[in-house]
Structure formats: C-alpha cells, structure tokens
Amino acid sequence: MSEELVTIIVALISVIGGAGFWNWMQKKSELSHKGQAEEAKERNEFRETLKIQVDRLAEQVNDLVREKEQLLREMSELRADLASAQTTIKYLEETLRNR
C-alpha cells in the first residue's frame, strides 16, 4: 500500500471517527435536554394540580366557616327563645302557686 493511501485512510478514519463521536455526543445532549424539559413539564403540571386542589380546599374552608357562623347565630337565637320561654314558664308557675 502506498504512503499516500495510508495517509488518506488514516485521515479519513480519524475524521469519520471524530464526527461519529460528536454525533453520539450531540444525540446524548439532545436526549438529556428533552428528558429534563419533560421532567420540568411534569413538575409544572403537578404544581398546577396542587394549586387547583389548594384553591378548592380554601373555598371549602370558607364555606365551612360561613356555615359555622350561621349555626352559631341560630344557636344564639334559640338560646334567647329558650330563655324567654323559661321566664314565661316560671311566671306561670308563680301565678298558679299564688292562686
């Protein structure tokens, strides 16, 4: 084999090998980048879901607080009614006893 041919073959092998290695590196980088992007997207989706759930829970808590206040109001009205009824009963008892 002539010297020239050896030179050309050696140069070609090193260039093709180098370019192939670069292609592999490039593919690997792109895949890893794609993977990271997907992971970030999934993380964002998860965060969005959590946010929706937290908003829903906050709404539920507000509803419960409103209901509790309503119940307390009704309870105090009932207490007042009861107190007035007790007073009436006592008055009637007194009246009956004095007769």
Partner 1 sequence: MMTKLSKTIDAVWYAAGPAQYLMYGVWAIVISGMFHLDGHLQLLSTAWKFLGFSIFVVTIWGTLRQKMLLILTSTILALAIGALYTSHAVMFGDADHIRAATQSHYMAVFVMVVWGYYLANLCARQSLEFKKAGINE
CA distance 47 to 29: 27
Out of 26, 44, 76, 87, name the contact with partner 1 by CB under 8 A.
Answer: 26
15 touches partner 1 (CB under 8 A) = yes
31 touches partner 1 (CB under 8 A) = no
CA distance 48 to 58: 15
Q: Which of residues 33-52 bind partner 1 (CB under 8 A)?
A: 33, 37
Out of 2, 5, 29, 47, name the contact with partner 1 by CB under 8 A.
Answer: 29
Q: What per-residue string of b and e applies to 5-34 under the rule 16 or more CB within 10 Å gives b? A: eeeeeeeeeeeeeeeeeeeeeeeeeeeeee
Closest distance of CB 42 from partner 1, Å = 15
Pick 6 or 75: Cβ nearer partner 1: 6
Q: Which of residues 64-93 bind partner 1 (CB under 8 A)?
A: none
C-alpha of 88 from chain center:
57
Structure-block tokens of residue 25: 């590196």
Closest distance of CB 69 from partner 1, Å = 49
